[in-house]
Amino acid sequence: MSSILVVYGTKTGCTTSIAEHIGATLVDAGWVVDVTAAEEKPDPSAYDAVIVGSGVRAGNWHGPVKSWVTTYAQTLKGMPTAFFTTGLTIARGPESADEVRAYTDPLVEATGVQPVDIGLFPGMNDLKKLSLPERLIMKAMKVPEGDFRDMDAVADWTREVVGKLGAE
Ligand SMILES: Cc1cc2nc3c(=O)[nH]c(=O)nc-3n(C[C@H](O)[C@H](O)[C@H](O)COP(=O)(O)O)c2cc1C
């Protein structure tokens, strides 16, 4: 049985729920799975594959996830790795996919870690969970409030990406 490490970065917990849904989908399909926050600095070397993702601020993955990928770049380059990005731009529709997919280009360039795929998932705009400056930014930009997560789409992507990760 193959083992998969799911690593995530989050500010408000939104991406935690998506990482956990990826993990639960993999468990249902018979994989051995650990779902861990990037801050816990899990060592990927004992796993057969990795899925790593983050929420976004201003087109950037959160710092601890970028640091984790950078720290373990040598290991990740030698194993199948998929990325996923949780944000609100993708909630506008598929025409924003290229823009959102490109958020991780600088990380790929800096580390050489080449994802087999990048899942793009709508997140949440829950003003209660944001700092005052963040709330002001979201209001100024007239970003609609709400929960745009689509857990069925997360599960569909997970079942699809397993094939690309070569896990059996
Ligand atoms: C200040 C701020 C900036 C954001 N910038 C982006 C962005 O550039 N692109 C995007 O797709 N989403 C952006 N978002 C939306 C978040 O990525 C989204 O709310 C996501 O669900 C956050 O997940 P997390 O709380 O797990 O980190 C931004 C949110 C805030 C509060």
Structural domains in the chain, CATH included, are 3-165 (3.40.50.360)
Q: Ligand 1: which of 39, 52, 56, 136 to mutate, judged by most atoms within 8 Å of the beta carbon? A: 56
CA distance 111 to 3: 23
Which two structure tokens, joined as six digits, stand for 78? 């030698």
Q: What does the pLDDT read at residue 167?
A: 52
pLDDT band at 166 (very low <50, low <70, confident <90, very high): confident
Query: Furthest-apart CA pair in the chain: how many Å?
Result: 49
| 123 Cβ inside 6 Å of ligand 1 | yes
Beta-carbon contacts of 14 under 8 Å, excluding residues fewer than 6 positions away, are 55, 86, 123, 124, 126, 149
Summarised one tens digit per residue, pLDDT across range 79-138 is 999 999 999 999 999 999 999 999 999 999 999 999 999 999 999 999 999 999 999 999
Cα 131 to averaged position of ligand 1 atoms, centre (Å): 12
| 15 Cβ inside 6 Å of ligand 1 | yes
Cα 91 to averaged position of ligand 1 atoms, centre (Å): 11
Best CA proximity match to 35, nearest among 46, 48, 50, 45: 50
E strands, 23-112, are 32-37, 49-57, 60-61, 81-87
Query: 85: exposed, middle or buried (C-beta count within 10 Å: 0-12, 13-18, 19+)?
Result: buried
| 126 Cβ inside 6 Å of ligand 1 | no
pLDDT over 90 percentage in the chain: 95
Cα 87 to averaged position of ligand 1 atoms, centre (Å): 5
pLDDT band at 43 (very low <50, low <70, confident <90, very high): very high
| 65 Cβ inside 6 Å of ligand 1 | no
Handedness of CA 106, 110, 112, 113 (dihedral sign): negative
Cα 2 to averaged position of ligand 1 atoms, centre (Å): 32
The mean per-residue pLDDT over the stretch 62-86 comes to: 98
Predicted TM-score (pTM) of the model is 0.97
